Structure 1
Amino acid sequence: MGERPLVLVAAVALIDVDGRVLIAQRPAGKSMAGLWEFPGGKVDAGETPEQALVRELHEELGIETATSCLAPIAFASHGYETFHLLMPVFACRKWLGTPQSREGQALRWVMPMELSRYPMPPADVPLVGLLRDLL
């Protein structure tokens, strides 16, 4: 089997005062379009996963948070056909602003017990039970 590049992506479970988690639907034209995922994105060269999430949350959702507001809770490691994904996952309960779609993605606040009703990329699926038990 050929070597696949390792892709580092950070994701966050934004948790509101009612205990709901924000998920976003991948827009048409992107790989895995239509699937639901936790907000986040690729970690750029020179960035920590926490710094990447602060940047991504601003770019994707228009909200501000600090690296100190991100608590590591899990990670996903998944081999896709052309790359291997490593994804640290953080919880965040403190941010400024109201999350709004800035990249055409649908957003939904979901109770942890309901997450399994939403089709997700393979790397995200193991996180659903973990979040349900954690939250």
Structure 2
Amino acid sequence: MKRYTKPIHVPEVVRHRRVDASLALINVVFLLLLFLLVAGTLKPPLPEGFAWAETTSDTGSSNIQGSLVLTRTGDIWFEGRRLDEQELSAFLHKSAALSDRLAVQVDRHARMEAVAAFADRLRAGRFRHLTLVTIEADRR
């Protein structure tokens, strides 16, 4: 009688590798970098040469998310681009349907006539609460 034999291969026991703590640190740094890149692109850029108007009052607060920008030349910007008259009218009509509040970031060198004319236009169009977004002046 003939015998048939097969070799049996017993696998080597592989020890588990130690958990490397630097991998978690790399993941955290990568996620932080990703967060900073996304957060930096969320705020639309202001027009070139924009200088914030200053105030001496430290009361009040506003959210600049979705606010308009009034430049020194009297132009109105929204989300990093200049609005023409038709786009501005459409924006104001849509915003007035959602809320009676509007925030406007004002350039320091904007003429007061332009600010007053824009405020009158907003008042005529169902906006009851207008917030002029400024920064607090240095008190020296």
Query: Normalising TM by the smaller chain, what interval?
Result: under 0.3
* Higher gyration radius (CA): 2
More RCO (CA 8 Å, sep 6+): 1
Name the structure with the higher helix share.
2
Which structure has more strand as a fraction of its residues?
1
